[in-house]
Amino acid sequence: MNPLHIDLGERSYDIHIEGGCLKNAGEHIRDLCPKADKLFVVTDSNVGPLYYDPLKAALEQAGFALCVHVIPAGEESKNAALLSKLWEDMLEFGLTRTDAVVALGGGVVGDLAGFAAATVLRGVDFIQLPTTLLAQVDSSVGGKVAIDLRHGKNLAGAFHQPKFVLMDCCVLSTLSDKTFSDGMAEVIKYGCIADKSFFDRLAAQPSRSAIMDNIESVLYTCCDIKRQVVEEDELDTGRRMLLNFGHTIGHAYELAGNYTAWTHGQAVAAGMVAAAKLGVALGVTPADVPGQVEALCHAFGLPTAIPCSAADYAAAVGRDKKGTGADISVILLEEIGRAVVHKMPKARLVRLLNSFDKVP
């Protein structure tokens, strides 16, 4: 399968999707970073024991000196203290602006390592080696990097496009069913917002085995949709907002669970169902759409409703980055495969969401 090229001028890069390609990471990175002597690898306590040794062999064979920093697995690692520790360790290692940072892991690793790369020495090259389905179809592409703050997720961050994204779909075989389903929420999202035929294909064979039988095609389709959106709106001021379908409400569910009870994918799945219902209430979405979204999420073991208090809805909506003053832009479906940005008062959104929770 040909690499996907993200055309962003001087910030352009390729996404390479291939089973077993992790063993060739050294060759790819050497071609892209011919002046680099050192690579600072960030991974986590789950991924490191599985994949760092073969990656280390590939990178050392390509002539790189390495330093690896292993963070605890989990969302709790996306914090300012660990970010500061990365900066200090990068400088202790002697990282220069011609060297690079490598993220080997899921979305947490990519976000944290990417933010460190964007800011240390005012920016160094950054390579994404995503190892979860969610990271491969979503967070590794597009250049959004961030950490969490006490007030919410991803509230301190930057846009820092990777130099390269290398996706080895074979690594997905080691994911738990829960983690795989977590990523399927983002896969379903792409069908909802941009590709009805893709949504219908997922609905026709809603199983992990069917997805894995066609995994390169699934990854390519999702990344190609994101490529088109990012090329048009790199800094998330217009069309790129469509990628947040289910996320505004999903952030409320994550907050309600104190960022531990529900994974990001679980929260987004329930958020997509709620957003579909919201669209019906606002006269934008056909009445049969929520049931279709709900059925597909349920088929992949994802929750379709999550209890949430009025206070958590209000807090999440108030902090949402798509809000401006008293209004917020929410993503609604005109039909499966076509999404729109809908601006509405934050207070009305919160009232409607609370009314859904009261329906038996």
**pLDDT (0 to 100) of residue 360:** 38
Indicate the helix (H) or strand (E) that contains 244.
Answer: none
What tokens were used for 193? 């917002």
Residue 321 pLDDT: 65
C-alpha 61: how far from its chain's center?
31
Please give the distance of CA 179 from its chain centroid, rounded to a whole number: 13
Q: Could you tell me which residues are beta bridge partners of residue 166?
A: 16
Q: Which of 9, 10, 7 is nearest to 224 (CA)?
A: 7
Closest CA to 130 of 245, 16, 34, 221: 16
What is each CA distance from 155 to 92, 144, 193, 293, in whole angstroms? 28, 11, 25, 28
Look at residue 323 in the predicted model and tell me its pLDDT: 62
Measured CA to CA, the distance from residue 259 to residue 262 in angstroms comes to: 7
Token code pair at residue 330: 């929410």
Extract the residue ranges of the chain whose pLDDT is less than 70: 1, 321-324, 357-360
Angle at 183 between CA 178 and CA 186, to 5 degrees: 140
Q: How far is CA 40 from CA 66, 81, 127, in A?
A: 6, 18, 10
What does the pLDDT read at residue 359?
44
Phi/psi at 316 (5° precision): -65, -45
pTM across the whole model: 0.94
Cα(150)–Cα(190) distance, integer angstroms: 30
Instruction: Give the amino acid at 85.
Output: K
Q: What per-residue confidence (pLDDT) applies to 150?
A: 85
pLDDT for 60 equals 98
Report pLDDT for 357: 63
